[in-house]
Amino acid sequence: HWRDFMKKNVLLFSHQMKVGGAPTVLCEMGKILNKKYNVVVLSPSDGAMRTQFEEAGISVLISGEITDALRDMIVQEFDFAVANTTLALPVVVKLAGRMPVYWWIHEGTLAYEGRQEMKEYYQFAAKYARIFSAGHVAAENFYHFYRIKTEILEFGLSDCYVAARDNRKHDHINVICPSTVCELKGQDILVQAIKSMDAGLREKCKFVFLGELRNDNAKEYQMIETLAKEYQNVELHPLVEREKLLDLYYDMDVVVAPSREDATPATIVEGLMYHKICICSSGTGVSRYLKDGWDGFVFENANADDLRNKLEYMVRNFADLGELRERGRKVYETIYSYDIFEKNVLEKIGTV
């Protein structure tokens, strides 16, 4: 039995438990809901995120499919559910009309390729759920493909930055691109930009990629591997859990999100939180809150030359970017801070 008889019981649904942006922000939402409710997370597959949920006091339930018996248990034991990402569609359909469901959408257009024929399923599900989008890009895409209007619920991340641990003294300007390696996240654009940089400026940097080889990203992964063999100052490391990534930021100067499309890259929000110089494409939702050259850098989507220009400018003017870093931190504080997120979550989730 998962129930707490003293509080309302909430079921979160995460499409996976691998380390990634969507499970990370769902876990943050779970921590907030946990202050008021008893929270359990359900996922079809296990992974490294489990420990983060468990450390937040959230029980983890793994089940490959939602059988009728499991559905009946959920309806009986829980007061409402929060489904995360468009991949939660089967769960929303299964629970439709049986209990209140809140649905949080994060995806960009590429996620919808080949899913147009699902339109009526989404429209059916939308009748039974209160739907939120994590930013304007996600909202526009969901409306464009399925003609479903959603409310905006930007995520927030709790402030993990400890000034005393920040290390700004190193031989190179350390640049990190920590997002999952795939076409969508645009690592190939960054690879092209690095290759075409002025050699003298490029040598002043160290570039760190994090990623793993999967069956669907061989091309992008190999591009980074080849680059790392060619240049001593390019490194490719396996993905790390979020705690380690947050530690790694202290040794970094610049965070890059070259995504072709990304509603809100958590990595850039983390970069802003950690007072880093953030460079992202105009295909990211976060770029709408950044003014190029003022509190971060925004390059034209999928344009490797423009990204190279931003990188070169950043290297040339590196010593003068202290104020830009602090203005970037302000964007975190005003848009993505945990306090604002907490207020929004408690006002919007579980209240209707």
pLDDT 10s digits, 225-251: 999 999 999 999 998 888 899 999 999
- Alpha-carbon dihedral of residues 50, 56, 61, 62, nearest 10 degrees? -10
Average the pLDDT over 67-74 and give the result. Answer: 97
**Is residue 67 very low, low, confident or very high in pLDDT (cuts 50, 70, 90)?**
very high
Q: Please, are residues 106 and 126 in contact by the beta-carbon 8 Å criterion?
A: no
pLDDT 10s digits, 110-134: 788 888 889 999 999 999 999 999 9
Q: What separation in angstroms does the CA of 2 have from each of 35, 53, 58, 73, 74?
A: 17, 15, 11, 10, 9
What is residue 145's predicted lDDT score, i.e. its pLDDT? 94
pTM: predicted TM-score of the whole model, two decimal places = 0.85
pLDDT mean across residues, the chain: 95
Report the SS3 class of residue 245: helix
Q: Is the pLDDT higher at 316 or at 20?
A: 316
What is residue 1's predicted lDDT score, i.e. its pLDDT? 65
Phi (first) and psi of residue 134, to 5 degrees = -85, 70
